Chains A and B, each alone.
Chain A
Amino acid sequence: MESKPIVDVHNLTAGYRRRPAIWNLDFQIQEGKFTGILGPNGSGKSTLLKCLLGQITPYTGYAHLWGQNVDKVRHRIAYVPQKESVDWNFPATVMDVVLMGRYRPGRFWQRLGKKDKEAALYWLEQTGMNHLANRQIGQLSGGQRQRVFLARALAREPSLLFLDEPFAGVDAGSAERILHMLKLLIEQGKSIVMVHHDLVSAGKILDNAILLNTRLVASGPVSEVFNHENLSATYGSDLSILSDVIDLVTRNPGRFKDPRNQKS
């Protein structure tokens, strides 16, 4: 069965503080697939994810979801950040955090109703966290924290789920549970995009992979993409000229912009 592209990335260059971390990426992600973004540290995986989520503006090119800017389709996506990105001393219970996933912008009176609580409870059950619903989040283990984040994202009932290294620092039991949930989602026809760095497990759990090392090395079904040539190109090949040019771009005082924008 041929599926439609859900993510369309075209000629995407982006980075922080004027330093491009990803360079002219071009790929598509199919609907209903479990896709992994793979690459060594510093290969621009997180930058790519931030672009897809619309958290940083690209220097050139675009990343579209369902053929539109991400701002138009935010109600259809959800995001599981790395668990280190927040302060777990925050005064909130597990239930509070999962309920956060239910907020939608736009209405004036934005309090949550009974329906939202039921949805949150449902996802807590699914992630096996319902017995901890009233616990303060700081008292959770690493795996439990990741499961709370997953429940918060799923409470948004997304068609497309983004995850940033969900298995890092997670115990085996939690990892299995999370993986099980992700597979269920795929069976329900949802799509998943996950930043991942463990190649061994990647081959087993993913449908598609995007191999990244500043530039795109390969993208496509895991069986085709995972070959010796691509992997060695991803994990260490000589990119000295590219990195020198990135240095030049970073240091150049000119404004680094899409030339087409300049011409308009």
Chain B
Amino acid sequence: MDLSNAVWVFIGCSLSGLLTALTGIPMYLRRQSLAGDALAHALLPGVCLGIWLSGYRDHWLVYLAGTGTGLLSIALINAIQKRSKIPEDGATGISLVLFFGLGLALLSSMQRAGFGNSGVQHLIMGKAAAMLPSEVYVLGGLFILALILAWLLFRPLWLFCFDPEFAQSSGMPMRQTEWFLNLWVALVVTASIRSIGMVLTAALLITPAAIGHFLSFKPKYMIGISMLSAGFSGALAAWWSAYQPGISTGAAMVVLLSLFAFFVLLAWPNLGYLSRYWISQLEKKRWIQENILKELWKARGLSDQELAFRCGISDAKSLRIKRSMVQQGLIDKEKGSWTLSRLGQEKASSVVRRHRLWESYLHERLNLPADHLHDNAEIVEHLLTDELESRLEAILSKPEQDPHQSQIPYKKS
């Protein structure tokens, strides 16, 4: 095939994004994301060894040795936890730094032995500019294999991630599955370090899965979202590196992916932090509106100052909210005092009804004294649904009065 280098890079980066994202999901769900980080760092001694022995950086020995040291690092994490009091995070850190230190020692011995750089530096930081077609073929093969495996083994693997003990009790071999997953991660990470780089592979194992999990609880959507976001950032990074050849594709990929992740976490509709803040502001406004309706229901014809005082809000704020309530046709102003419209009347009586019904429930069913009901009802009146309201009516058998002997306004049927 005759494809220009840029296209190879483009395909390679997108593929490694898709592949690592898919691979990272079981790691993420088993809450072993940081073990993935250790594994990626631990490839260094293996890869160095492989290159040293074979003399090529895409030789099968490189993949074999890289996968081998990657797996060894996981074994070391397990051994430290099992044989000492060091907890998981300490064990992970220790394993990571030991293998990486060993790798660095090998790397500088290689350089001193006149081996040149052999592009190992680029394997650490990730630079796809010189990607070989053979490396892309390996990535492609692994990707197809990953899709087939995920398709075939989706249910048992998902169960294994969610509840390994149950999976074991239903006949799934625990240790074998665990090591199969570790082996797979090691293979994938070895294959994709050319484009991403060891030190940053963790990002592609973790961040896409975290985005997917944040946006959806459904497994298939979660997987889809993760793979798409990683694949796109890989493609974009390759495109970027075509214009600016000096940059590290791995870093570019991770920066793009992280930007997307932080955008999602902050601003995704309904879920992001800022969106939730915005929604909470809207909800606050609704509560204030309902409070205004309620006060007007209790005492018609309140002036601006009286209304603001009773609802406990500033004049400026009440002005804005009243303006929007006039637009909704809930209230009218007559000669400097406010009254309810017909629609407002209806809504206000519903708020008062819920308030008083809830007070009756607290008083009768939870035996709270009469002077403790109000504050709680001030909150719950804004939340009750029609369904809960009718259930309350049914349990309490439509009381005439609330515990403070005020009339409960029912809908006229």
Cα-based distance from A249 to B383 in the complex (angstroms): 7
Cα-based distance from A259 to B362 in the complex (angstroms): 18
Q: B323-376: which residues lie under 8 A (CB-CB) from chain A? A: 358, 361-362, 365-369, 372, 375-376
Q: Is the CB of A244 within 8 A of B388?
A: yes
| Contact A242/B375 with A89-B85, A252-B383, A253-B276 known, Cβ cut-off 8 Å | no
Of A60, A215, A241, the most chain B CB neighbours within 10 A belong to: A241
- Does B379 count as interface, using CB distance less than 8 angstroms? yes
Q: Which B residues lie within 8 Å of A245 (CB)? A: 358, 380, 383-384, 388
Q: Is the CB of A26 within 8 A of B372?
A: yes
Taking a contact as CB atoms closer than 8 A, the residue among B283, B375, B385 that contacts A254 in the complex is B283
Cα-based distance from A197 to B85 in the complex (angstroms): 32
Q: A250-264: which residues lie under 8 A (CB-CB) from chain B? A: 252-256, 258-260, 262-264
Cα-based distance from A11 to B375 in the complex (angstroms): 9
Q: Which A residues lie within 8 Å of B88 (CB)? A: none
Cα-based distance from A180 to B383 in the complex (angstroms): 49
Q: Which A residues lie within 8 Å of B383 (CB)? A: 245, 248-249, 252
Q: Is the CB of A60 within 8 A of B85?
A: no
For chain B, which range describes its interface: under 10, 10 to 19, 20 to 34, or 35 or more residues?
20 to 34
Q: Is the CB of A24 within 8 A of B378?
A: no
| Contact A11/B372 with A241-B388, A242-B366, A248-B385 known, Cβ cut-off 8 Å | yes
| Contact A24/B372 with A248-B385, A262-B312 known, Cβ cut-off 8 Å | yes
Q: Which A residues lie within 8 Å of B284 (CB)? A: 254-255
Q: Is the CB of B391 within 8 A of A259?
A: no
Residue-by-residue, is B218-235 near A (CB-CB < 8 Å gives 1, otherwise 0)?
000000000000000000
Q: A1-57: which residues lie under 8 A (CB-CB) from chain B? A: 11, 13, 23-24, 26
Residue-by-residue, is A194-219 near B (CB-CB < 8 Å gives 1, otherwise 0)?
00000000000000000000011100
Q: Is the CB of B276 within 8 A of A60?
A: no
Q: A221-264: which residues lie under 8 A (CB-CB) from chain B? A: 241-242, 244-245, 248-249, 252-256, 258-260, 262-264
Q: Is the CB of B388 within 8 A of A263?
A: no
A257 CB to closest chain B CB (Å) equals: 8
Q: Which B residues lie within 8 Å of A138 (CB)? A: 85
- Does B382 count as interface, using CB distance less than 8 angstroms? yes
Q: Which B residues lie within 8 Å of A11 (CB)? A: 372, 375-376
Q: Which B residues lie within 8 Å of A61 (CB)? A: 375
Q: Which A residues lie within 8 Å of B375 (CB)? A: 11, 60-61, 258-260
The A contact surface, by secondary structure, is mixed
CB-nearest residue of chain A to B385: A248
- Does B239 count as interface, using CB distance less than 8 angstroms? no
A8 CB to closest chain B CB (Å) equals: 14
Q: Which A residues lie within 8 Å of B391 (CB)? A: 241
Residue-by-residue, is B278-310 near A (CB-CB < 8 Å gives 1, otherwise 0)?
011011101100000000000000000000000
Of B369, B379, B383, B385, the most chain A CB neighbours within 10 A belong to: B379
- Does B321 count as interface, using CB distance less than 8 angstroms? no
Q: Which B residues lie within 8 Å of A215 (CB)? A: 366, 368
Q: Which B residues lie within 8 Å of A258 (CB)? A: 375
- Does B395 count as interface, using CB distance less than 8 angstroms? yes
Q: Which B residues lie within 8 Å of A254 (CB)? A: 280, 283-284, 286-287, 382
Cα-based distance from A61 to B378 in the complex (angstroms): 14
Cα-based distance from A61 to B283 in the complex (angstroms): 23
- Does B6 count as interface, using CB distance less than 8 angstroms? no
Q: Which B residues lie within 8 Å of A262 (CB)? A: 312
- Does B392 count as interface, using CB distance less than 8 angstroms? yes
| Contact A264/B312 with A13-B376, A24-B362, A24-B366 known, Cβ cut-off 8 Å | yes
Residue-by-residue, is B47-63 near A (CB-CB < 8 Å gives 1, otherwise 0)?
00000000000000000
Known pairs A61-B375, A241-B361, A245-B384 / 8 extra A-B pairs, C-beta < 8 Å: A24-B376, A26-B372, A241-B391, A245-B383, A248-B385, A254-B382, A259-B312, A260-B375
List of 9 A-B pairs having minimum Cβ-Cβ separation, nearest first = A263-B312, A254-B283, A89-B85, A259-B378, A248-B383, A253-B279, A215-B366, A253-B280, A253-B283
Question: What are 23 A-B residue pairs whose CB atoms fall within 8 Å in the complex?
Answer: A11-B372, A11-B376, A24-B362, A24-B376, A215-B366, A216-B366, A241-B361, A241-B365, A241-B388, A242-B365, A248-B385, A249-B383, A252-B283, A253-B279, A253-B282, A253-B283, A254-B284, A254-B382, A255-B280, A259-B312, A259-B379, A263-B312, A264-B312
Give chain A's interface residues, CB within 8 Å of chain B: 11, 13, 23-24, 26, 60-61, 87, 89, 138, 215-217, 241-242, 244-245, 248-249, 252-256, 258-260, 262-264
